[in-house]
Amino acid sequence: MKHFFILLALSFSVLTSAQNNAFKGGENLTFTAGYSMSGLMTDFAEVTMATSDVKTKNGTLLRLKTKATTYSKWDNFFKIRDLYESYVNPKTLTPYLYKRDINEGGHYKFVKYNFNHKTRTVKSLIRKKSKNFASGFWDKNETVKISSGTKDIVTTIYHLRTLDIKKASVGDSDTFQVLFDNKEMRFRFTYAAKETINTALGKKECYKLRINLINNNALKGNDNFVWLTADENKIPVYAKFKVAIGSGELKIKSATGLKN
């Protein structure tokens, strides 16, 4: 499911970055994930995105949690149980802690990032399963240097929704960076159009955004898009992408707890 998160991870530095007025704790979005390797799109998993307030000794953080789970009938073919979560400043969405816990077809990986924005570094832990270790796991601890403004992938997805896209012009494009598997990934993205599409939430006028990865072939071609509602919530209601072994899509199924 990593291509879904890569696809949604957008940011518009050509736009004004505002404080978060698009969502609050208690929002829940549910998506159906489809995949095709032979021309027939098949729904195989559910993706949820949820926000919640978390009290700490220094104040309140916003927890951004995304889960991907295959439908039971597909578990024997390729079982997915993925959890991504970030803990951020509720207004600025500055990330402090990021966790990724994935189990895909028996492949297990755990990633934890502790952000230090003053030093522009991330304290990283990556844990994998291995038959070569008595404990069954091996850990890699590393301090990773990051650029100013680099975020984890979950925070970036939500950060997109705080930006003032309505001030952009069709054709505007830029690049941004996301830390993923201890590497900064660079994206180019373009405001492609404003379109009205049919969704499970009804007809929605949307911002259509094209995504390209720079110096990375995870996404193929020039036909990777995400549609965000052209309102104050900027909900991702549809996305499609193409990778080496097929193509996929995500469709909104339900949305509750919206701020606006």
Q: Which of 173, 170, 176 is nearest to 195 (CA)?
A: 170
Rounded to 5°, the CA angle 119-162-171 comes to 100
pTM equals 0.88
Question: Residue written as tokens 């502790």?
Answer: 114
Q: What are the pLDDT tens digits along the chain (260 aa)?
A: 554 454 444 333 334 456 899 999 999 999 999 988 677 888 999 999 999 999 988 889 999 999 999 999 999 989 999 999 999 999 999 999 999 999 988 889 999 999 999 999 999 999 987 666 556 778 999 999 999 889 998 998 898 888 788 888 888 877 778 899 999 988 777 889 999 999 999 999 999 988 877 766 666 667 788 899 999 999 999 998 877 677 889 999 999 999 99
Which top CATH class is 2-253?
mainly beta
Beta strands in 27-119 (DSSP E): 28-36, 42-56, 59-70, 80-88, 95-104, 107-116
Is the distance from CB of 80 to CB of 45 less than 8 angstroms? yes
Is the distance from CB of 135 to CB of 122 less than 8 angstroms? no
Q: Which of 212, 211, 222, 207 is nearest to 169 (CA)?
A: 207
Residue 164: what are its φ and ψ, rounded to 5°? -90, 70
Taking CA atoms, 144 is separated from 6, 178, 182, in Å, by 20, 13, 7
